[in-house]
Each structure stands twice: as C-alpha cells, then as structure tokens.
Amino acid sequence: MKKAKVFRVGVIGAGSIAQHCHLPGYKKCGNVELVAFADPALERHKEVLEKFPEMKGYKDYRRMLEVESLDVVSVCAPNKVHPPAAIAALEAGCHVLCEKPMATTMKEADAMIDAARRAKKKLMVGFTHRLFTGPQKCKELLKKKAIGKPFMMRVRFAHGGPYPGWAKDPNTFYNPRTAAGGAMLDMGIHAIDLCLWLFGKVNAVMAKSATIIKKIRVDDNAVLLLEFANGALGYIDVGWTSKPGFNGFEIYGTEGSLICDYAKGLQQCGGVASAGKDSKLEWTMLDEHPTRGGWEIEIPHWMDVVTGKKPLEMDAQAGKNSLAVALAAYQSSKKGKRVVL
C-alpha cells in the first residue's frame, strides 16, 4: 500500500492568528509536519517554540523558503507583507493559504494570481466566515429559493478592536503603512466577501469610513452601501469601537427573511410584515450555533483543498474581488461620491 504523502508546512508571521488558528490547525492534521516559521520579532519565536518545539524559527521568511523544503505555507504576516511573502512561497513550489486581505492594491493581487498560475500551485484566502454553519445554511437556502427573490442584505461585524488583547503588535493593525486600512479592510473584507458569495457581483459602492473613537491613524468605523449586479442592495456596518450587540447578517427576500445572529442563532422568518397591527411573524430556528466551524475547521479544510478532496472556492479571484470593493469603498469615502467598479 502506497504511503500517504506528509506535507511539510511553514508559517510566515507568528502572531495571534498563527498561534491560535494556523499552527494548532495544522497540528490536528495527520498528513502534516510542522517544520518552520518566520517572524522578525524574537518574542514570537519564544511563544511559538513553547507550544511547538519541533519547529525551527527564522527571522526572514526568504531564508526559511531557501533552506527548508516546504510543500505548504500559511501567510499570517501584516497586510503589506502578504503579496511578497505569498509570491515568494509560490515561487518556492508551495501551496499557499493567505490571510485576508490578500493584498493592499489590485496590482499586488494580480501579481499573486499570476504567481500561482505560473507555479501551478493553489492559493487560498482565509475567508473563514464561509466555513461557519450559519452562512453555509443560508447559501443552501438561497440556492433553493427558500425566501423567494433576495433583494437586500445587511451585515454588521463589530467589536472593541484588535489591540490590546489580540494583536501582538499594534502596528499590525493601526499603522497605515503596514495595514493599509482599518476596520473596513480588516473586518469589512469578511463582510464584503460574504455579500459577494451570497449575492454575487457588486457594480457600485458608496461608503464612509471614519476615525471616531480611537486615537489611531486608520478608520475605526465604516458603513458601505452596495449595489449588486442583480439589482439587490447591501448595507455593511463595521467597527472597532463596539460594545456587545448584534453581530451577523440579515437577508431579505420576497417570500421571507434569514436572520443570522452570530450570538442568538440563525432563524428564518415568514408571515406578514405590516405598518399596521396585522403583522404576523413566523419564526423557525435553523441553527442555534451558526458560528460552528470557522477557525476550527479552516486548516483541515485547506489541507483537503491541497489534496484535491475539496474544491478551491476561496481562491485568489475571490480575494481580488473583495479587495476591489474595499478599495472602491475607501475611494468613495475620500471623494464623497458613488464609485462604479
């Protein structure tokens, strides 16, 4: 019997997302060997080696790619590093899982797509909300036309912000030179991808990003209005200054609604909505825990993509499409007008 291939894995960037998602995720996969990681901060080396002593640390990812013979690489570095790191890993013959956003400019995104094509390797973007059971159920129901023709989608993703508490270094998120954007690029990119995945192509966007509460150099809140190619509308509200409240999304169709509250569950609502007293609401709970999946299954899912067991759907084109909307939103906010994609 032919022995199953063991994939040698390296990780570029050893901060929180690497330590909480990628490294433990790979550790759970039976066909993986955690080989090396690269991060310029020696504090990250200490943290990683305490949990994964079998790995070798490098300060420079280029050196890691040169020395180690790797099959798979996760790019978990700051946004500005995503394109050069991913391209270097692809050129070294690795399949690459890149954190979102895949890049900070359209030119960079195109270069990454070209590099994957030339190398004939897989490049996936970490849009983990697609891996939650709630969004997956909504995708299935929309395909079945369970709520008729969908015409409106609203998304709200907001929390108190990535630092302190999450980001190992505030420059990862709050420095415009390395992050290239704030809440709209960090959290908004997930919301944009969900809208594109569930509703299709966006033709135009109007947006306003602002720094309202935090004393930082990037936006801490943003709102976006999307015009879809199918005629539907979408509204996105993202922020880094929020106290507990609604997080999730709502989809409204001609025959009903889907309310995916990440804390309270996914429900389908039917009946009659009226301005008078004759409203009749019919609620059906579809999933009490709609955020099952996500990080917990991202790396096993990725390895199934690498081995061909699952299709590559969160591909580089999806990453480019979401980035295009995000950049158009920043342009709209800056110019104060609607931007056509």
Give pLDDT tens digits for 100-136. 999 999 999 999 999 999 999 999 999 999 999 999 9
Residue 212 above 90 pLDDT? Answer: yes
Distance CA 80, CA 172 (A): 9
Specify whether 225 is located in the same domain as 282.
Answer: yes
Residue 170 above 80 pLDDT? Answer: no
* Average pLDDT estimate for 35-62: 97
DSSP 319: H
Residue 3: its pLDDT value, please? 75
Residue 277: its pLDDT value, please? 78
Q: Decide: 266 and 287 in contact? Cβ < 8 Å.
A: yes
* Average pLDDT estimate for 40-61: 97
Provide φ and ψ at 266, rounded to 5°: -95, 125
Specify whether 84 is located in the same domain as 137.
Answer: no
Q: Which domain holds residue 219?
A: 129-292+323-340
Residue 279: its pLDDT value, please? 81
Structural domain count of the chain: 2
Specify whether 112 is located in the same domain as 174.
Answer: no
Distance CA 93, CA 254 (A): 49
Residue 2 above 70 pLDDT? Answer: no
Residue 179: its pLDDT value, please? 94
Long-range contacts from 304-307, C-beta under 8 angstroms, 24+ separation = 305/122, 305/124, 306/7, 306/72, 306/95, 306/122, 307/31
* Average pLDDT estimate for 219-245: 97
Residue 90 above 80 pLDDT? Answer: yes
Residue 26: its pLDDT value, please? 98
299 in any annotated domain: no
Residue 169: its pLDDT value, please? 79
Residue 165 above 60 pLDDT? Answer: yes
Q: Decide: 156 and 237 in contact? Cβ < 8 Å.
A: yes
Specify whether 269 is located in the same domain as 158.
Answer: yes
Residue 171 above 70 pLDDT? Answer: yes
Specify whether 18 is located in the same domain as 149.
Answer: no
Q: Which of 67, 95, 125 is the last residue of a domain?
A: 125
Specify whether 73 is located in the same domain as 148.
Answer: no
Cα–Cα nearest to 286, from 155, 134, 146:
134
Residue 153: its pLDDT value, please? 98
Residue 68: its pLDDT value, please? 98
